[in-house]
Structure 1
Amino acid sequence: MKLLLTSAGISNTSIHKALVDLLGKPVTEASALFVPTAIYALAGGAGIARSVINGSLGDPFCELGWKSLGVLELTALPSIKQELWVPMMQETDALLVGGGDCQYLTYWMQHSGLADHLPSLLRKTVYVGLSAGSMVMTRFGTTYSGHTLPAESSKSLGLLDFALHPHLDHEWFPENSQANLEKLAATLPAPSYMIDDQTAIKVTDGAIEVISEGHWKLFTP
């Protein structure tokens, strides 16, 4: 299993090098699929998805010079035969999962069937998350008010035995101060990684490595 869990994308040289290490080849020789689904549960989600794809918002993610880039929309998959999208997903080098509403993303990962394929898929494909796209793989996820899912719907897949809190001390998210996140982390039954936008968590077959040119903290309850 190879994962690169970022707060805001491939924001610096160290995180880019970690991505190349996981891919085993340059980004320019690798194919990628982008999953924008999580962002649609936020106001202006369609425009944000476009901006992430064309690289006009945030740190580099989709616009990294991939050999090829496709879009995999999870809400469409239940109505499409699996033989049309599963082989495409299995043949790609990187699955890029964007941010937004973690609960909404979790629901569609499960409802689309993607979650069922992740254990086998991640033996070969590198999973690259951004914000909620990173959190969904861990023990903790957030939700907003832009969807109509049942309140008891899962907020994350829980495939990794820790929690992840992105955007540490970011000016756009004043609630993400280290003090506030430590209070939240103290209520969770698993270790919590608090990471800023210059930090990522690299997971290789269960081995965890923090890649950072910024600020982060591990909180163990």
Structure 2
Amino acid sequence: MKLLLTSSGISNPSIQNALISLLGKPIEESNALFVPTGMYPFPGGSQFVWKAMNGELGSAMCKLGWKSLGLLELTTLPAIQKEVWIKAITETDALLVWGGDPLFLSYWLKESGLAEVISSLENLVYVGVSAGSIATSKLFGESYSNLPNTIARPKTLQTLQFDTFENTFVTAEGAGFVDFAIIPHYNNQNHRDACNGNAATWASMLPGMVYAIDEHTAIKVADQKIEVISEGKWEVFDQTL
């Protein structure tokens, strides 16, 4: 599996070119599946799912001109014969994993069996957006003003003091596709916990490498090589130093 981890999807030509290079062919010759699962824990989640698919949230990732596009809802997979949905996965070129709640999303990536299946697919391209990127880590952290009450449970939970406010901070085991962690929406004023020194506070709660990426930056992972693709700003925090 190859990965393209973003804050807002395919937001500029550099990230789109990175996607095409990972696919190894034009987008219009590639099949994709859209995963909206992370949106459902929040009020109005079902409406946000439609807006994301319709190109009204972030970049219009579903409207890039795919040869075919389908929807894959992770919470339904345990009730479906495994051979059926595995066939759909093996026939796709890109898995477009939208944002929302990374705790809920990572739970269902593992509980559904999808994480195990796609880990062995060398040519599949996993495109993460926000929580879809966070959830790929072995261990991730997320900051909540209101923690959704779902079946998913964090590994740790505590109150974290940012510059002028407090949030609930959780850590949890993600899908384990990458060894580093991600803070999306770096210096986006709509995400105060990822702005300026708050990103460093967030990163300090996690071991190892933590990448803070803005809306115009992506992390490309292929053949165990990590490459930052950016037309914006990003920062890496190394907690091992």
Q: Which residue of structure 2 lines up, in the alignment, with residue 30 of structure 1?
A: 30
Unmatched runs of 5 consecutive residues or more in structure 1: none
Greater shift in the superposed pair: 136-145 or 195-204: 136-145
List aligned pairs for 1:6-45, cutoff 5 A.
Answer: 6-45=6-45
More helix, by proportion: 1
Q: Which residue of structure 2 lines up, in the alignment, with residue 107 of structure 1?
A: 107
Question: Considering only aligned residues, what root-mean-square deviation do their CA atoms show, in Å?
Answer: 1.4
Q: Which residue of structure 1 lines up, in the alignment, with residue 149 of structure 2?
A: 147
TM, length-normalised to structure 2:
0.87
User: Matched residue of 1:95: which SS?
Assistant: strand
* CA positional deviation for 1:155: 4.5
* CA positional deviation for 1:91: 0.8
List aligned pairs for 1:36-115, cutoff 5 A.
Answer: 36-115=36-115
More strand, by proportion: 2
Structure 1 residue identity aligned to 2:120:
S
TM, length-normalised to structure 1:
0.95
Distance 2:153 2:84 in 1: 32
Asked if 1:172 is matched to 2:174, the reply is no
Distance 1:212 1:44, change over 3 A: same
Q: Which residue of structure 2 lines up, in the alignment, with residue 195 of structure 1?
A: 213
Deviation track 1:164-215 (CA, whole Å, cap 9, x = no partner) reads 0000111211221120111121231111100000000000021000000000
Instruction: Report sequence identity in percent.
Output: 50
Distance 1:194 1:150, change over 3 A: closer
The count of residues paired between Structure 1 and Structure 2 equals: 220
Choose the corresponding residue for 1:181, options 167, 188, 199: 199
The higher-RCO structure (CA 8 Å, 6+ apart) is 1
Q: Which runs of 4+ in 1 moved over 6 A?
A: none
Distance 1:62 1:6, change over 3 A: same
Unmatched runs of 5 consecutive residues or more in structure 2: 156-171
Q: Which residue of structure 2 lines up, in the alignment, with residue 209 of structure 1?
A: 227
